[in-house]
């Protein structure tokens, strides 16, 4: 097991209550009223499903973009950020067949993922986990935290991204909205 692996367990325990779960593309995830976030080395509670990921190194971000992000990105765990979203995503074989420069061009030059997303910081805190190399069904686990007053901004953000050329390569996506209970 990777030392920094994070596991998200859907079941009856955990600090986050599932407010809604919606399959955007492909199969949904079965059940679970709560989500537990369990770091590597800690025992897994029983659950209906477990998703695993490793915190991501930046693959596509340029230095100027990294600096712009670092200047405004908030940390996870802010007391006011009692809403969260867990959005596992898989991209199609066509995406993975592309070269790195082609993927970067779709993500940013065509879809403006980073530039568009930056506009929602510091309201939204984010963390990206990679799952593909762990042999998981999803390629990425994306995690976001925000205050209730920014829930509609978050809806605008995901709706905007889903209209981009990048999202034409998304072949499985489940959108879980969560409320902190502990
Ligand atoms: C809060 C605003 C957001 C910002 C600033 C942002 C920024 C970024 C950045 C910089 C990367 C590239 C990381 C790298 O260099 O490898 C990235 C990747 C990614 N983001 Fe976002 N993002 C935001 C929102 C979202 C949302 C709402 C979703 C899901 C609905 C999402 C899904 C992804 C995925 C799946 C990747 C990985 C893409 C790939 O490697 O093919 N992002 N994001």
Least confident of 42-46, 72-76, 77-81, 85-89: 42-46
Structural domain spans, the chain: 56-180
Residue-wise pLDDT tens digits, 104-153: 999 999 999 999 999 999 999 999 999 999 999 999 999 999 999 999 99
pLDDT for the residue numbered 30:
86
Question: Mean pLDDT in the chain?
Answer: 96
pTM over 0.85: yes
Provide residues with CB under 6 Å of ligand 1. Answer: 56, 58-61, 87, 89, 91, 113-114, 117-118, 120-121, 124, 126, 128, 140, 142, 157-158, 161
Residue 136, SS3?
Answer: coil
Query: Is domain 56-180 given the CATH code 3.30.70.3420 in the classification?
Result: yes
Measured CA angle at 128 (ends 127, 133), to 5 deg? 150
pLDDT digits (tens, 9 = 90+) for 9-22: 999 999 999 999 99
Q: How far is the CA of 60 from the centre of ligand 1 (A)?
A: 10
Ligand 1 centroid distance, CA of 128 (Å): 7
Rounded to the nearest angstrom, the distance between the alpha carbon of 71 and the centre of ligand 1 is 17
Burial code (b: 16+ CB inside 10 Å, e: under 16) for 1-14 equals eeeebbbbbbbeeb
């Amino acid at each position: 097991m990777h030392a920094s692996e994070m596991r998200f367990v859907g079941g009856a325990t955990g600090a986050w209550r599932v407010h809604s779960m919606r399959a955007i593309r492909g199969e949904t995830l079965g059940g679970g009223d709560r989500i537990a976030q369990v770091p590597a080395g800690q025992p897994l509670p029983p659950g209906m499903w477990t998703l695993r990921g490793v915190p991501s190194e930046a693959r596509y971000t340029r230095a100027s973009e990294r600096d712009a992000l670092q200047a405004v990105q908030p940390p996870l765990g802010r007391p006011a950020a009692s809403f969260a979203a867990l959005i596992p995503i898989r991209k199609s074989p066509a995406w993975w067949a592309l070269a790195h420069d082609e993927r970067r061009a779709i993500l940013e030059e065509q879809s403006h993922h980073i530039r568009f997303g930056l506009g929602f910081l510091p309201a939204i805190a984010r963390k990206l986990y990679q799952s593909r190399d762990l042999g998981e069904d999803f390629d990425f686990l994306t995690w976001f935290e925000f205050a209730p007053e920014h829930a509609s901004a978050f809806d605008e953000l995901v709706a905007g991204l889903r209209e981009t050329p990048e999202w034409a390569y998304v072949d499985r996506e489940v959108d879980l909205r969560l409320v902190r209970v502990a």
